[in-house]
Amino acid sequence: MDLMWKHTFGWLSLWLVSVALTGCDGSSQRGEGGVKKVQLLNVSYDPTREFYQEFNESFAAHWKATKNEEVYVEQSHGGAGKQARAVMDGLEADVITLALGYDIDVIAERTKLLPLDWQSKFPKNSAPYSSTIVFLVRKGNPKGIKDWADLEKEGIEIITPNPKTSGGARWNYLAAWGAALAKELGGMEGIRKATPEQRAAADKKARAFIESIFRKVPVLDSGARGATNSFVQRQLGDVLLTWENEAFLALKESGGDQVEVVVPKLSILAEPPVAVVDEYAKKHGTQEIAKAYLEHLYSPQGQQLAAKHFFRPNSAELISTEQMAKFAEVELFQLKDIWGSWAEAQKVHFDDGGIFDQIYQPK
Amino acid sequence: MELTLHVSLGEGSCAKQPMSRKRSYSVLPGFGLTMGYTLTYLSLIVLIPLAALIVRAASMSLEQFWAAAFNPRVMASYRITFGTSLVAALVNSVFGFIVAWSLVRYRFVGRKLLDALIDLPFAIPTAVSGIALTAIYDRNGILGHTLFQWGIKSALSPLGICIALTFISLPFVVRTLQPALEEMDGESEEAAMCLGASRWETFRRVIFPALFPSLLTGFALAFARSLGEYGSVVFISGNLPMKTEITSLLIITKFEQHDHLGATAIAIVMLVASFAILMSINGLQWYLAKKFRG
Amino acid sequence: MSVENKHGIQDPLWVQWTLITITIGFVAIFLALPVAIIFAEALKDGLKTYAIALKDPAAWSAIHLTLLVTAISVPVNTVFGLAASWAIAKFEFKGKSLLLTLIDIPFAVSPVISGFIYVLLFGLQGWFGQTLSDWGFKVIFAVPGIVLVTIFVTFPFVARELIPLMQEQGNDEEQAAISLGAKGWQTFFYVTLPNIRWGLLYGVILCNARAMGEFGAVSVVSGSIRGKTATLPLHVEVLYNGFNVPAAFAMASLLALVGLLTLALKTYLEWKVKQQRRELALVNE
């Protein structure tokens, strides 16, 4: 009997010791020795993980060369809403690089972690790179999806994430809406010239278009990457609406023989902005390096890396023409041309009780 | 000195029923210490955090709360969550009964292995189960491929949610029934048979009534566990509002939309529901214990 | 003596076989197949996948973190389980049913809610968040927060295993020890603990498995900083979302392996107990 008890005790202590041993050295990555070590945390949205992984190395080399300091950039990725929520609740990001300006606006308004005019702190509205919304279809495009209007065809399935939680999904939605308006009113010029009545009639058509799209959506993932997985890994749906950069990445990762990218004639200019979270950076004493980190995005290296990862660089002159050739010609409209501001678009379409919610209400 | 006289192991899961006898309670020391510790720890870890939820909800007016917790989309999620949990718990009651019955009453090759496998859903992380179930029941999954051809949507549908919930809650029914089945003595059923009752009648009138309380407890535990499940469901469900969106997902969606109040209101409703179910399980056990004591 | 006799009349063979077939079929399809899938996917390209997956420092950091979180939360809940079961099983008092229900709550509450309530408490917009942040102490999106929610979700496991067991065993032995002059602690260590040790170990094992595998609650409070606040289940998600499905399955299979070991250990324990009982029976004769 005693033996049994010792046996038990032995098991327990063995387990405790082994766990304690492995648990102890978890946090020993901080610097000792001559070179100063700095850590930065970049909280970003879903499809940027591969880009920032490479960019962080580039920045670390750059910083080592100029300041002789070791910098290690930590990454966190997820649906844009989740990431903004985490920063507001205390995820101490030195910089945020989110899918759309509205989520950063919300942080600024509700928490004062960064100034309301954050968007004016870096060139080009704090958007070092841009992207647009394209289609990813199965190899050979069996359903013949060429442009937005083809999404209305019966018998196809569309994959797009949940606009409530995903930034990319909101761009998808707005791109589709804008395309429908342009079709009704005769291009962007027509939208600008339309009378309020004409616009209202066209909005109605656009809404019907959006409804027909979401009727064909079998699964709403919470982030853009989840949707890509549904389409590529799980083989769901006939067409994926997604970021241009994500579509090219999925094409590359799947070996190029499963899917292909289709670029519509007209799409939205999607500008994922970046910002230093001043309060957190101040707390960590990383204001200078956080600013340098984001400025590095605008440097030739940063722009080239962005282009390499299929983001459209903001300074195309820094990129070779071969590199630029992969970005198809597409007419891009801006969000403000149609909705004025992100806040307005958010309120009408995505807030509770907005048009997106109404789509799913039983009639 | 060898003080140990007998050893026994709680073979069931956390849901085993107390089989207490009447006894005096005054002699033993340590009530103040252990009770004090229990209450302090309970308060710190469970009660204060839950109080935060309730205080947060108290900042809402009744209308606000009502609108947030019972609007059509949320109601649909309750229907889906409660409906699929109910189906899963019922399926598990039927199959769990058969499984427990076979494991206790019959002897066959592989019985021990099967018995050990029952606890798998306890031991495997829910997210991992979710990915694995999706690989099986998805439209292009191993079984899903065929099921979809037969017109059975085993993923991206309420049925898919039921499958995930059945998986995670199976052990509860089996593990509550097993000890009860083992403790049953054969005398009453033999007596019934001797008195001329048919096999089926014996089962219906003697065996089943004796097992029913355990079955009910197992059912309720499985149901309660299913209500809160998140990790394994989000992969296999389509997550469409009004159709396949479970309440846990809706809470986190609200939360990520910066709508803390909306999330709080729904969380409170779910909390009350779980509390009520647990309370009735404990009440049921208390009642049965009293009944058996005479 | 065969076991069957105890259980009344034997069912006809056809009933036995039907039910056994249903049992095997159900367990095979619903329980065994998912686990088989995980290993099949992980081993698709052989052990190479594991080598690659384990080369990633983030994987090791996730393993470290998972073990650390488990190493804290399991002992803490074990001590609680012992105290709670002593108070509840050995004494009679009003409100016992309510107390039991409160202890059970974390088990029925959605993990999402568990994470959420801790954010409400310790998040920057929560009750204590600002104060803690001013003191430079991080709870949410750091290890303490992950530990806290893990303690929360595994809270009832040990207690719920021990309470019925201790109730069943009654107080006679402890009372005998006390009346023979043993101190309270002595009684606990030499009488109670040996009596409940297998149940205790079983509770600890279940608690351990759940602590390692928790996903929903941890995902809410972790912030998923790669290589820092990602536990193993979150790391699986990161890999799954990083176009790295084979590695995701490899890491998932590690977790499943822990689960299987848990089951093996549990089965072994049960067998030990039965053996012990048999020995006891012999001694008594």
Q: Which amino acid is at B182?
A: E
Q: Does any domain span residue B198?
A: yes
A207 shares its domain with A344: yes
Rounded to 10°, the helix A2-24/C193-213 angle is 30
Same domain assignment for residues A154 and A119: no
Q: Considering only residues 71 to 130 of chain A, which have any Cβ-Cβ distance to chain C shorter than 8 Å?
A: 74-78, 86, 88-92, 110-111
The pLDDT-based confidence of C125 (bands split at 50, 70, 90) is confident
Q: State which residue of chain B sits closest to A346, comparing Cα positions.
A: B257
Give the minimum alpha-carbon distance from C285 to chain A in angstroms, rounded to a whole number.
17
Nearest-angstrom CA–CA distance, B5 and B252: 52
Chain B (77-96) residues lying within 8 Å, Cβ to Cβ, of chain C: 95
Taking the complete model, does pTM exceed 0.95, yes or no?
no
Identify whether B11 is part of a domain. no
Residue A91 belongs to some domain of the structure: yes
Q: Provide the CATH number for the domain around residue A255.
A: 3.40.190.10
Tokens of B30: 């340590």
Report pLDDT digits (tens) over C128-150.
Answer: 888 888 888 889 999 999 999 99
B111 falls within a domain:
yes
Please give the DSSP secondary-structure letter assigned to residue B258.
T
Cβ distance C55 to C133 under 8 Å? no
The pLDDT score that the predictor gives to residue A13 is 59
pLDDT per residue over B113-128, tens digit each?
Answer: 899 899 888 888 888 8
Q: Name the H helices within C154-188.
A: 156-169, 172-179, 184-187
From C61, which residue of chain A is nearest by alpha-carbon distance? A26
pLDDT of residue C272 exceeding 90: no
In sequence order, what DSSP letters do the residues of A296-325 get, joined into one string?
HHHSHHHHHHHHHTTPEES-GGGS-HHHHH
pLDDT of residue A321: 87
C-beta atoms of B278 and C104 within 8 A: yes
Of C113, C151, C270, the CB nearest to B251: C113
Greatest extent of chain B over all pairs of C-alpha atoms, in Å = 70
Q: Is residue B259 part of a domain?
A: yes
Interface touch B258/A88, C-beta < 8 Å:
yes
What average pLDDT does the segment B192-202 reach? Answer: 84
Distance CA C151, CA C131 (A): 23
Number of C-beta neighbours around residue B188 at 10 A: 15
Q: Is residue A117 part of a domain?
A: yes
Q: Is residue A13 part of a domain?
A: no
Q: C244-273 in b/e burial notation, b at 16+ Cβ within 10 A? A: bbbbbbbbbbbbbebbbebbeebbebbebb
Point out the least confidently predicted range of A206-220, B31-45, B70-84, B182-196.
B182-196
Q: How far apart are CA C155 and CA C148, in angstroms?
A: 10
Question: What pLDDT does B273 receive?
Answer: 94
Range of the domain at B191: 54-125+155-293
| Range(s) of the domain holding residue A157 | 131-270+330-360
Query: How many folded domains does chain A comprise?
Result: 2
Task: Say yes or no: C22 contacts chain B, CB-CB below 8 A.
Answer: yes
Domain ranges of chain C: 8-42, 48-284
Residue C1: its pLDDT value, please?
33
A151 and A117 housed in the same domain: no
Q: Are residue A338 and residue A235 in the same domain, yes or no?
A: yes
Condensed to tens digits (0 to 9), the pLDDT of residues B146-159 reads 999 999 999 999 99
How much is the mean pLDDT over chain C? 88
Rounded CA separation A273/A264 (Å): 24
B17 domain residue, yes or no = no
**CA-to-CA distance for C69 and A22, rounded, in angstroms?**
11
What average pLDDT does chain A have?
Answer: 89
Q: Is the pLDDT of residue A6 over 60?
A: no
**pLDDT above 90: residue B10:** no
User: Is the same domain home to A79 and A145?
Assistant: no
From chain B, the residues in CB contact with A234 under 8 A are: 134, 138-140
Whether pLDDT at B11 is above 60: no
| pLDDT tens profile C171-228 | 888 989 988 988 888 899 998 988 888 888 888 988 998 999 999 999 999 988 988 9
Nearest 5°: phi and psi at A159?
-110, 125
Q: Which CATH superfamily is domain C48-284 in?
A: MetI-like (1.10.3720.10)
In this structure, what CATH number is given to the domain that contains residue B198? 1.10.3720.10
On whether both A177 and A207 belong to a single domain, the answer is yes
Of A45, A216, A220, A232, which to mutate for an interface test with B (greatest number of B Cβ within 10 Å)? A220
The answer to whether position A257 is within a domain reads yes
Q: How many domains does chain B have?
A: 1
Q: What angle do CA A27, A33, A38 make, to 5 degrees?
A: 60
* Stretch (H or E) spanning C33: helix C33-42
Contact C272 A46 (CB under 8 A): no
Chain A, window 79-118: residues with a beta carbon less than 8 angstroms from a chain B beta carbon: 79, 81-82, 84-85, 88, 106, 110
- Are A148 and A229 within 8 A, CB to CB? no
| Across B193-206, average pLDDT | 85
Interface of B with C in 32-71 (CB under 8 A): 33-35, 37-38, 41-42, 45-50, 52-53, 56
* A225 lies within 8 A of chain C by CB: yes
Instruction: Check whether residue A206 and residue A321 sit in a common domain.
Output: no
Instruction: Nearest chain C residue to B193 by CA: give it.
Output: C9
Same domain, A244 and A338: yes
> Does A226 lie at the interface with C, CB-CB under 8 angstroms?
yes
